[in-house]
Amino acid sequence: MSTFKAPKGTYDLIPPESAKFLAVREALSAPLRRSGYGYTETPGFENVELFARGVGESTDIVTKEMYTLTTKGGDELALRPEGTASVLRAALEANLHKSGNLPVKLWYSGSYYRYERPQKGRYRHFSQVGAEAIGAEDPSLDAELIILAHDAYRSLGLRDFRILLNSLGDKECRPVYRAALQEFLRELDLDEETRARIEINPLRVLDDKRDSVQKQLVGAPMMRDHLCEACRSYHEQVRELLTSAGVTYEDDPKLVRGLDYYTRTTFEFVHDGLGSQSAVGGGGRYDGLSEMIGGPALPSVGWALGVDRTVLALEAEGVELELPPATEVFAVPIGDEARRVLFGAVTELRRQGVAADFAYGGKGMKNAMKSANRSGARFALLVGERDLTEGVAQLKDLGSGEQTAVALDRVVTEVRARLA
């Protein structure tokens, strides 16, 4: 046993559980790859100011949860707590918005880091698949991303998730609503920290999960009652597109999420089987974020889906994923010459797309067969001295126990035929 353990609030992914996470990443990203989204990858750390400007200086992420460090050169860096700001920064730096082909559609996958109280479904290191459509203001894009996430979850077999939907307005109508909300909130019995938030970003108070706060929010003004005609029309178009695609959603006038950059469309995927950590993914439109981080006006929309929480949601519903076998054929040589010949056969099987493994370390027949059974392989391929003399290998079905002699030069063809 090692002297060291994974840091508190983190986890290691090891087989066989890791195969489930890989399958979830593949399922979440597959609809994006079919819809014109190209893969992007950004550094695991960025300039602190990128997140302070983009995510919001008053957010819990920036004020309490970021892992920050100072380099030897004096630069202030932070482990990325979310993906959108980094991806937008990368797109701007590469001048993708000047290609003349807008929107720029990107998807990504990776680990993110927030200092939080660890609990099931809420870790300090977590994995997400994300998507961003940069440079276009179109309700079809908002609906497209929601539908792609919906279809990805469905493809995994999830059924008990809900989609919450709201509009947060824009720079035209939000100031009026902000003033009305501040006036209401200032009359409530709130702690000092929450009162400070009223002056910086009052919408965040609506997102406060404490019962003592939520009880006082009854009768609070809602953004939906203050939307300008343009935002109201935009939101209605998103709703109509979702309905026509057969996607069911719930209007949630209190949905604001935890990031300051959202405008207009905001949405969240929740699964009631996860308890308090019910959000499995979410996103929205962020039309002003590019200007916040020094870029031109680039209306954009995106989402991030949690791989960790999606796995938990699958477990809550009892969904068993159909995972590709780690090993289909396990080779068991008996003797040095058999080892050489069988290793060549295994190499060719792998080149032909068959998942094959080998009894390494000079194991005896008994131990090698135990390894074959533990591997989950469908077939064992055995070769001994007598087999070499006869120019054959023994192909054993590990399920039925049936064993067949196969000519050595026909092993690959026969195995592929049996697996097919």
Can you give the pLDDT at residue 328?
Answer: 95
Q: For residue range 300-343, list pLDDT tens digits in order.
A: 999 999 999 999 999 999 999 988 888 999 999 998 899 999 99
Q: At what angle do helices 336-351 and 411-419 cross, to 10 degrees?
A: 50
Give residue 268's identity as a one-letter amino acid code: E
Q: For residue range 106-126, list pLDDT tens digits in order.
A: 999 999 999 988 877 788 999
Confidence band for 259, pLDDT divided at 50, 70 and 90: low
Which of 272, 296, 317 corresponds to the end of one domain?
317
Confidence band for 142, pLDDT divided at 50, 70 and 90: very high
For the domain that residue 101 is a member of, what is the CATH number? Answer: 3.30.930.10
Residue 25 annotated as binding?
Answer: no
Residue 37 annotated as binding?
Answer: no
Q: Quick one: how far is CA 120 from the chain centroid?
A: 17
Residue 261 annotated as binding?
Answer: yes
Examine the domain organization and report whether 106 and 247 are in the same domain: yes
Calculate what percentage of the chain has a pLDDT beyond 90.
Answer: 67
Can you give the pLDDT at residue 121?
Answer: 75
Which of 266, 295, 317 corresponds to the end of one domain?
317
Residue 351 lies in a domain: yes
Examine the domain organization and report whether 403 and 264 are in the same domain: no
Place of tokens 């068959």: 354
Residue 114 annotated as binding?
Answer: yes
Residue 83 annotated as binding?
Answer: yes
> Quick check: 1 pLDDT over 80?
no
Q: What is the DSSP-derived secondary structure letter of residue 102?
A: P
Q: What is the DSSP-derived secondary structure letter of residue 173?
A: T
Domain count, the chain: 2
**270 vs 250, 284, 348, CA distance in Å?**
11, 15, 46
Examine the domain organization and report whether 356 and 270 are in the same domain: no
Can you give the pLDDT at residue 167?
Answer: 94
Residue 205 lies in a domain: no
pTM of the predicted protein model: 0.90
Residue 186 annotated as binding?
Answer: no
Examine the domain organization and report whether 160 and 66 are in the same domain: yes
Interacting residues of 102 by C-beta distance below 8 A, sequence separation 6+:
134, 135, 136
Examine the domain organization and report whether 280 and 133 are in the same domain: yes
Examine the domain organization and report whether 147 and 258 are in the same domain: yes
**241 vs 138, 158, 237, 302, CA distance in Å?**
12, 22, 6, 17
Residue 84 annotated as binding?
Answer: yes
In this structure, the dihedral spanned by the alpha carbons of residues 166, 238, 290 and 228, taken in order and rounded to 10 degrees, is -70
Distance between the two ends of the chain, CA-based, in angstroms?
42
Structural domain span for residue 23: 17-173+227-317
Can you give the pLDDT at residue 59?
Answer: 65
For the domain that residue 405 is a member of, what is the CATH number? Answer: 3.40.50.800
Q: For residue range 55-88, list pLDDT tens digits in order.
A: 766 566 676 788 999 999 999 999 999 999 999 9
Residue 416 annotated as binding?
Answer: no
Residue 59 annotated as binding?
Answer: no
Examine the domain organization and report whether 61 and 109 are in the same domain: yes
Examine the domain organization and report whether 246 and 350 are in the same domain: no
Looking at every residue in the chain, the average pLDDT score rounds to 91
